[in-house]
Amino acid sequence: MSANHPVNSDQAALWNGASGQAWVDLQSILDAVLAPFSPLLVEQAVHDQTRRVLDIGCGAGATTLAVAKQLKLQGTCIGADISAALVEVARRRASAEGLGNAAFIEADAQTHAFEPNSFDAAISRFGVMFFDDPVSAFANIRRAMRSEGTLAFVAWRSPAENPFMTTAMRAAAPFLPALPTPDPNGPGQFGFADPERVRGILHASGWRSIDIRPIDIPAAVSQQDLLTYVTRLGPVGAALREADEKTRAQVTDALRTAFASFVQDGAARFNMACWLVMARS
């Protein structure tokens, strides 16, 4: 990146601005939706000899705390995130739960000077698709791993396989013509949808024994929380923060109609189509 556009500056601005605050505000809703991924990542990361785990893009700390609870006095989990607001929430949660073996740093995992050879495992729950240079990022993470250290993360499969995740963009587009067009190979929610691209990134950054498996996880958002969820998050949420009152009302009505088909028994129900990616240093 040029000196005029530092590494991951767009993501730093995004997650240290209103989008990061939206994740802070909706932390309990998001943790409930994404809860099934914590035991999945704990299972991959924590073994008899595990002492130190790195949680990349830890957000408000749910996965970091889950790993710390499993490690107990055996070891420590360090959560790293680019968002100062989310790191502060994570620290408060760890303190409230008395988890002294969970720690958090405000850091960009692509460039942060982690201590070399200091972690047994690295995990991430949807936190690794946003790097400007993913090869450099995963090489930096690999240098922080001990010999035979493990990597495990979940990332979204294609937009076509995740219709719930793309409904808001489609429904809002007629009213928000400036919505960005996602780059399938750029930083973003679906940046790792192509498994061969992911495999190539990991191979180029020095990881081996790469295993990429499709997983499908059922999820639900209560009908009471649904409109908040779809109007506060993602590109639509960002655009609505700048929209006038009339446009916000039009988009909200369109979203209410578009998501009606997902609602059953008091909740919007959908499938989370993901990759579980594993590798060794």
3-state secondary structure string across 140-184? HHHHCEEEEEEEEEEEECCHHHCHHHHHHHHHHCCCCCCCCCCCC
> Angle 98-99-100 (CA atoms, 0-180°, nearest 5)?
105
Per-residue pLDDT of the chain (281 residues; tens, 9 = 90+): 444 567 889 899 989 999 999 999 999 999 999 999 999 999 999 999 999 999 999 999 999 999 999 999 899 999 999 999 999 999 999 999 999 999 999 999 999 999 999 999 999 999 999 999 999 999 999 999 999 999 999 999 999 999 999 999 999 999 999 898 888 888 999 999 999 999 999 999 999 999 999 999 999 999 999 999 999 999 999 999 999 999 999 999 999 999 999 999 999 999 999 999 999 99
Closest CA to 281 of 146, 134, 101, 153: 146
Q: Is residue 173 part of a domain?
A: no
Residue 216, domain CATH: 3.40.50.150
Q: Is residue 267 part of a domain?
A: no
Domain limits at 103? 9-158+184-221+273-280
Q: Is residue 117 part of a domain?
A: yes
CB 31 within 8 A of CB 55: no
Q: Is residue 128 part of a domain?
A: yes
Q: Is residue 60 part of a domain?
A: yes
Q: What is the model's pLDDT at position 56? A: 98
Paired strand residues for 275: 155, 214
Phi, psi angles (nearest 5°) of residue 217 = -120, 125
DSSP 98: T
Tally of domains in the chain: 1
Q: What is the model's pLDDT at position 2? A: 46
Q: Is residue 197 part of a domain?
A: yes
Q: Is residue 255 part of a domain?
A: no
Whole-prediction pTM: 0.95
Q: Is residue 48 part of a domain?
A: yes
Q: What is the model's pLDDT at position 5? A: 62
CB-based contacts of 227, cutoff 8 Å, min separation 6: 252, 255, 256
Type of residue numbered 169: M
